[in-house]
């Protein structure tokens, strides 16, 4: 276990919880994004012929599309609500309600300040929203355009107020105002000075963001390489959300986020021949998932080829689901964490290969969303094939070559350094720590036995026991694939092998902060764990 200073530990814990909060709204996007991409396909006459002109069908698609755009159009609100949902220590559902009201109070306060004194502050509040005005509308309120940053700021502040004052006792005569009412009142008052400070400094921040957009758009192939490398190499820490979310969903390179910008422009791109990188340069920051489709399956092949003969059938059963998950959906932890812990330098090689692949695509003019083959098919392969045939074929061709490259590189390194990747483990080396104690406790715990009616509850019970029990949990959150836990006493937490024995793919530790790598089912396990902690 790593030990570090208390300040570093607290900072890591805060960033871990912050990253988990950022992921909550991101989890809503993939299916909705795919739906929007499919709708764009049905608007393209070159792909669906007369269907693109059928009024009844297009009217229905317009209705569905408008509903689907809700998430992308209300990102500041959704990101704000992710914080109380994840970070509230008690009554998160009430914290979510207060946060929504507080966010609107914040923007109403900005609206009032700019209505009264906008001209004195150098802000023309009478101009139309959008464009270069620096203004937008959030839930019908005209306000400063802060994108997801404003929502995250208000969400975080409100959640901290909730955690501090929700259980604050008041005199008996005022007890009616305890809890949510008190939190909402304090948060609302806090928003007034916050709005005042915001209107003074945010225009300068907007200028800085515009400069940053210009820098990244013109950073070229190296910028794409660095962005992709950082996004991959930070996965073990769970901090990779801080790299890609501002680009994919925020305004780091284009207003509204690179993903929404691509989906919105699918009809235009599908009808316009030319270099895609020049047509939509911001899409270069959507390609960090290219090796999810074409790289990691090669690593899986290498694991099979290097497995001991007697273990190959078992290894195949392990790596096929993991490789398919990466290829189809872009969720990579199931396969990445099979080699991260036993061969960390392989993960560095993986990050380097990922960055190189992405920058190669960008250098030859190929850009696309690439979080799995399903997304690539709906947003690139199918709609772009008629006008960008060469780009689609090169994307697939280079990708197949990259699978071969991964296979050769991983196989060579595994054999050269005798790495214990899947199928090469020493028999009997991994076993459950305190296994008999754990089984005995399970047998005598009638409450848990009653609750353990599904596999997610069983997993939650097992992890809770290995973490030292309910009394040892200080905080519990999750992201896409990890259960993120802060414990009170790290000395009574079982070692990594014990967690892997009960189904975890791995365990990351930083003093009292633990990340249990579970996979896409982590929300279900978290829900069961919350029941046990209540």
- Which positions are annotated as active-site residues? 479
Cα-Cα-Cα-Cα torsion 428, 411, 307, 303, nearest 10 degrees, comes to 90
Ramachandran quadrant class, 519 (left: phi over 0; alpha: psi -120 to 50; beta: rest): left
* Rounded CA separation 265/401 (Å): 29
* Rounded CA separation 230/240 (Å): 7
CA distances from 149 to 22, 144, 152, 254, 350 (A): 11, 11, 5, 14, 31
Q: Which of 100, 83, 257 is nearest to 180 (CA)?
A: 100
* Rounded CA separation 239/424 (Å): 30
* Rounded CA separation 383/43 (Å): 10
Strand runs labelled E in 262-347: none
* Rounded CA separation 231/208 (Å): 23
* Rounded CA separation 371/376 (Å): 7
Distance of CA 2 to the CA centre of its chain: 25
> CB 199: neighbour CB atoms within 10 A?
19
Strand partners, 142: 137
Strand runs labelled E in 222-363: none
């Amino acid at each position: 276990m790593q030990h570090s200073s208390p300040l570093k530990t607290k900072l890591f814990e805060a960033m871990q919880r912050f990253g988990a909060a950022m992921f909550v709204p991101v989890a809503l996007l993939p299916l909705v994004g795919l739906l929007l991409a499919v709708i764009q396909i049905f608007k393209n006459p070159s792909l669906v012929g007369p269907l693109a002109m059928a009024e009844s069908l297009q009217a229905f698609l317009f209705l569905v599309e408008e509903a689907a755009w809700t998430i992308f159009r209300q990102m500041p609100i959704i990101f704000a609500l992710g914080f109380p949902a994840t970070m509230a220590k008690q009554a998160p559902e009430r914290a979510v309600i207060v946060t929504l009201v507080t966010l609107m109070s914040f923007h109403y306060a900005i609206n009032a300040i700019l209505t009264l004194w906008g001209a004195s502050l150098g802000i023309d509040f009478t101009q139309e929203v959008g464009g270069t005005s620096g203004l937008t509308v959030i839930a019908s309120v005209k306000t400063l355009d802060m994108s997801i940053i404003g929502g995250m700021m208000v969400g975080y502040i409100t959640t901290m107020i909730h955690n501090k004052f929700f259980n604050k006792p008041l005199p008996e005569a005022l007890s009616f105002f305890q809890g949510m009412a008190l939190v909402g009142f304090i948060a609302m008052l806090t928003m007034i000075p916050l709005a005042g400070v915001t209107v003074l400094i945010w225009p300068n921040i907007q200028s800085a963001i515009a400069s940053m957009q210009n820098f990244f758009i013109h950073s070229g192939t190296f910028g794409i390489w660095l962005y992709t490398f950082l996004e991959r190499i930070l996965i073990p820490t769970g901090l990779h959300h801080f790299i890609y979310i501002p680009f994919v969903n925020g305004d780091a390179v284009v207003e509204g986020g690179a993903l929404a910008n691509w989906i919105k422009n699918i009809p235009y791109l599908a009808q316009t021949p030319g270099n895609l990188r020049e047509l939509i340069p911001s899409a270069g920051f959507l390609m960090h998932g290219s090796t999810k489709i074409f790289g990691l399956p090669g690593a899986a092949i290498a694991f099979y080829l290097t497995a001991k003969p007697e273990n190959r059938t078992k290894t195949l059963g392990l790596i096929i689901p993991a490789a398919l998950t990466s290829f189809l959906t872009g969720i990579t932890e199931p396969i990445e964490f099979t080699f991260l812990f036993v061969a960390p330098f392989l993960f560095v090689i993986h990050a380097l290969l990922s960055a190189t692949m992405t920058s190669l695509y960008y250098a030859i003019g190929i850009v696309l969303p690439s979080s799995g083959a399903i997304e690539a098919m709906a947003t690139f392969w199918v709609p772009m094939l008629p006008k960008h045939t060469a780009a689609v074929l090169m994307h697939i061709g280079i990708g197949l070559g990259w699978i071969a490259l991964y296979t050769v590189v991983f196989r060579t390194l595994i054999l050269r350094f005798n790495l214990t990747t899947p199928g090469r483990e020493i028999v009997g080396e991994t076993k459950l720590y305190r296994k008999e104690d754990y089984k005995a406790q399970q047998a005598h715990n009638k409450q848990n036995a009653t609750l353990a009616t599904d596999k997610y509850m069983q997993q939650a019970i097992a992890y809770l026991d290995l973490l030292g029990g309910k009394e040892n949990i200080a905080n519990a959150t999750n992201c896409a694939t990890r259960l993120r836990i802060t414990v009170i006493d790290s000395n009574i937490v079982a070692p990594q092998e014990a967690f892997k024995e009960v189904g975890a793919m791995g365990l990351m530790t930083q003093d009292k902060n633990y990340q249990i790598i579970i996979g896409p089912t982590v929300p279900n396990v978290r829900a069961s764990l919350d029941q046990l902690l209540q």
